[in-house]
Amino acid sequence: MLQTRRQFIRQMACSAVGYGAIFSMLGDLRRLNAVTATSGDYRALVCVFLYGGNDGNNTLVPYSQVDYNAYAKARDLIALSRDSLLPLTPASAEGIDYALHPSMPEVQALFKQGHLAFVRNVGTLVAPITRDQYLKGGVAVPPQLFAHSDQATLWQTSISDQASTTGWGGRTADLLASLNANAKVSMNISVSGINTFQVGRDVFQYIVSPAGQITIDKYTPGAGATDAESRAISQILARQNANIFENAYRATVQSAIDNNQLISNALAAQGPLKTIFPANDIAAQLQLVARLISIRGTLGHNRQIFFCAMNGFDTDSYQLDTHAKNLSDLSQALSEVLWKNADAAGQWTGRHRRRPLDTDGLRRRVFSHSRTLVRCEHDRFAHGLSKSGALC
């Protein structure tokens, strides 16, 4: 029996507790792979990572009066006005009403349309722990608990009890790669540089920039190049070396050049998208994702995993204004770039939402570590562990 999307998401959200849950989830992916291998449908996962630690406590806010009062007391100077919040009406509220940051009306609309959900109280902890337990020791905690970069890596590996050399996007790609039988480039494409999330055992990330491909400066591939730089590079790439590492490096560079040419030609043939995009960095990244999805046939992809990222969430003492601007950019990008463009291009249709795992659909994950609920020393809100992630 196939899992529902809700059951699948629940297992994914719980996978951060350790190896047992992550192996269970990957076992389910193997079964789903076998079931869907001949279905011929298309799916994409788009990860949007918020570097610096998004303040989840001011993103999804308790709205019931009693719960809001407790929130306002804890947050003190940076508590959002209840009147400014954007209420949500979930199908299952579990006794607590929630509302969104006032900078996210587009996300509120996606939620109302059934295109977006939140998973609350997820993080990198191995198990629940109190401050006293941490100070006394003896309770398992993630490695390098207070190291900013390490916690970001743990979010991307989804294994909290020890270091991992692979990310959960990479492990997923390893299991689903057989569905891309005619793949010309990696199914893992990053629009925001090298990351741990997409590192697998067999499938590795292919990196592009929001402006397009990353090329060798002043190099024109092909025999028709006349400049000295291009001819020199072509001669080096054509040379067979006795050293196996030199040959491997040459093959890697040549593969990157070939992939660049393939994607550049395909994007040029497809032409620009008609959607008018917001003028911010995350929208530019997601715009390229939408264009890459549009040429998936040329790339030989039935499954794709994309990585995008936003910086600037390490707000500490400059929380209110900076956080509001960041959330506004994110909200507009998720709505305008992915949903409206995908609907217009026929890449996502609502009729599939009730099928297991939303076949034929695009899936987006927005996540990072959080910030503390209460103020720390020097009026700062430091890195936190538990928060809410968005699934759309």
313 pLDDT more than 70:
yes
CA 377 to chain centroid, in Å, comes to 32
Query: Does residue 28 carry a pLDDT above 80?
Result: no
Tell which residue, 94, 119, 135, has the closest CA to residue 16: 119
Binned at pLDDT 50, 70 and 90, residue 159 comes out as confident
The whole-number pLDDT of residue 227 equals 85
8 A C-beta contact, residue 333 and residue 16: no
Contact 259, 206 (CB under 8 A): yes
| DSSP character at residue 79 | P
**Which of residues 338 and 232 earns the better pLDDT score?**
232
Strand partners, 43: 303
Q: In this model, does residue 311 exceed pLDDT 80?
A: yes
Spatial distance between the Cα atoms of 351 and 62, rounded to a whole number of angstroms = 32
User: Which tokens in the block code for residue 40?
Assistant: 């011929």
Query: Which helix H or strand E contains 370, and what residues bound it?
Result: strand 370-371
Asked whether residue 320 carries a pLDDT value surpassing 70, the answer given is: yes
* Region 92-101 average pLDDT: 84
* Half-sphere exposure in the Cβ direction for 364 (13 Å, CA): 26
Q: Mean of the pLDDT values across residues 359-387?
A: 49
300 close to 182: Cβ distance less than 8 angstroms: yes
To the nearest whole number, what is the mean pLDDT of the chain?
79
* Residues paired with 119 in a beta bridge: 389
In this predicted structure, what is the pLDDT of residue 89? 86
Fold of 5-59+101-211+272-391: Alkaline Phosphatase, subunit A (3.40.720)
pLDDT top residue among 126 and 178: 178
pLDDT at 371 over 70: no
In the Cβ-directed half-sphere of 237, how many Cα atoms lie within 13 Å? 20
Q: Given phi > 0 = left and psi -120 to 50 = alpha, else beta, which region is 265?
A: alpha
Q: Which two tokens stand for residue 56?
A: 């989840």
Q: What torsion, rounded to 10 degrees, do the Cα atoms 95, 100, 101, 107 define?
A: 160
CB of 325 within 8 A of CB of 315?
no
pLDDT interval class at 385 (50, 70, 90): low
Angle at which helix 19-36 crosses helix 5-14, to 10 degrees, equals 150
Full DSSP string of 264-332: HHHHHHH---SSPPPSSHHHHHHHHHHHHHHTHHHHT-SEEEEEEEE-----TT-HHHHHHHHHHHHHH
Q: Are 61 and 373 in contact (CB under 8 A)?
A: no
Name residue, tokens 């560079």: 253
Per-residue pLDDT of 129-142, as tens digits, reads 888 998 898 888 88
| Lowest mean pLDDT across 99-108, 168-177, 202-211, 371-380 | 371-380
Percent of the chain with pLDDT over 90: 36
Between CA 267 and CA 109 the distance in angstroms is 31
